[in-house]
Amino acid sequence: MTILLTGGDGYLGWPTALRIASRTDDRVVLVDNFARREWVENVGSRSATPVAPISERLDAAEEVLGITNLSFVEGDLADKEFTDELLGIHEPEVIVHAAAQPSAPYSQINGERANYTQHNNMQATRNLLWGLEEQDLTDTHFIETTTTGVYGAPEFPIPEGGATMENQGEEDEVPFPAMAGSWYHLTKSHDAANMRLAHQQFDIPISDVRTSIIYGAGTDETQADERLATRFDFDYYFGVVAHRFAAQAVAGYPMTVYGKGEQRKPFGSLEDAVEGLARLALMDPEERESGHTVYNQVTRPISIVEVAETIADVAGEFGYDVAVKHFENPRDEDETHEMEIENDRYLDLIDEQRVTFEEGMRETIGTISEYEEIITAHEDRFLPGVLED
């Protein structure tokens, strides 16, 4: 059996690969084109944690963790010829598709980056799905990390999957409407629709894992050796809000809450995200939910103000004196939105939440405080507009 994991050099992909490979003797093939490293460099930033070359990562996985079933292929999934060759050679029985340009702010910079984001993300997914159909691999379990951002911010509880639409006294179950708020998030709305269509037309088993804002600097596997560390981005474009706040705390820079900060966002730990993907990848076909399944990968919605206050409190435990300041919100969003989101299917998958937000921030600050000099040297990357400097 072969498990193909795309985005294998990334923040989520790399620790997921280590978790999967440590639990099976089957081949785990990683694919990446190292674009994330280039994107972050292009915005003038870098990962706070040193990211080793992939060859060193693989060597460390064997030396430290005893993992011998990991291999790596460099290539661009937006290239159909490459993707077809990849599928033809390895004939995966499971694909964990985590490759994407994942930044909403990056996709909003200008038309060039919006076009790139949409082409890169959607073309890769279409190439994989059509590749499975054209090479008679439609029994392959296709797992993709989309995003809870496809839901937008509706004024009702978000379902874990479809929605019930009513019109003129009649109702039916329909796919949740695309309510994405950025050019990036819309790529995942399209991916979700394309996966549904691929299941309907090709009968490919689909797990659509709608990923929340993930927090955490590592897992047990990535923290076993510095060479195994996953990346930790903290700039405005690629650092999620919790990571940016944590880095600002370490740098002695006021935490920037945009607007009122009362809006709740969906959060989940890196540990929980990795565990969910690993369980899906290794699940016996007879045990997993058949057909097309949506998982809301979120453990708790948290307000931005609570995020900031929690990080300030935890940072204080490490001797950092942190201020929280409010700035004008550059995003068009409801600053008081009380998000409610169903996640029963996802919690059943992982059994229970493993890392709370407070615990995750304690681990995060403990890790990145070792790289305070790197963060401080790039503190001008915390705020929007840096590409215009």
pLDDT in tens, 208-251: 999 999 999 999 999 999 999 999 999 999 999 999 999 999 99
Tell me the average pLDDT across 311-335: 85
pLDDT in tens, 277-300: 999 999 999 888 879 999 999 999
Decide if pLDDT at 275 tops 60: yes
Q: Is 188 a catalytic residue?
A: yes
The active-site residue out of 11, 116, 151, 184 is 184
Q: Is 184 a catalytic residue?
A: yes
Least confident of 108-112, 173-177, 328-332, 364-368: 328-332
Model pLDDT, residue 385: 62
* 21, containing H or E segment: helix 13-22
pLDDT in tens, 107-140: 999 999 999 999 999 999 999 999 999 999 999 9
pLDDT in tens, 187-214: 999 999 999 999 999 999 999 999 999 9
Q: Is 299 a catalytic residue?
A: no
Rounded distance between C-alpha atoms, residue 56 and residue 62, angstroms: 10
Decide if pLDDT at 387 tops 70: no
What are 111's two structure tokens?
């038309």
Model pLDDT, residue 332: 67
The active-site residue out of 117, 125, 146, 147 is 147
The active-site residue out of 49, 117, 188, 295 is 188
Rounded distance between C-alpha atoms, residue 245 and residue 218, angstroms: 17
pLDDT in tens, 46-81: 999 999 999 999 999 999 999 999 999 999 999 999
For the stretch 80-87, contacts whose Cβ atoms lie closer than 8 Å and that sit 24 or more positions apart, written own/partner, are 80/123, 80/127, 80/130, 80/131, 83/124, 83/127, 83/128, 83/131, 84/127, 84/131, 84/134, 84/135, 86/4, 86/31, 86/131, 87/4, 87/128, 87/131, 87/132, 87/135, 87/137
pTM: 0.95
Mean of pLDDT over the chain: 94
User: 331 versus 297: which is more confidently predicted?
Assistant: 297
* Confidence bin at 388 (pLDDT 50/70/90): very low
